[in-house]
Amino acid sequence: MTGEDLQIETNSNKKYIVIKNKDDLLGVGKIQGTFIKNYVPKERRAR
């Protein structure tokens, strides 16, 4: 929510991912290797 990239372990072949908590949409990212790169615009991020 603050615009940081996340480090993950996945075997997924998907390139984009939606990040949710139950029914709440938290963000969208792109999987690049072992990281999810943040794709939420800067003006939409939590401060």
In a domain, 46, yes or no: no
Identify the pLDDT of residue 14: 77
Could you report the per-residue pLDDT of 1-47, keeping only the tens digit for each?
566 777 877 777 778 888 888 998 888 888 888 888 877 766 666 66
In a domain, 22, yes or no: yes
**How many domains are there within the chain?**
1
In a domain, 47, yes or no: no
In a domain, 31, yes or no: yes
In a domain, 1, yes or no: no
Identify the pLDDT of residue 41: 67
Residue 45's nearest CA partner among 21, 33, 22, 29 is 29
Structural domain span for residue 33? 6-40
In a domain, 45, yes or no: no
Which single residue is written with the structure tokens 């390139």? 15
pTM of the model: 0.57
Alpha-helical regions (H) of 1-47? none
Which single residue is written with the structure tokens 């969208």? 28
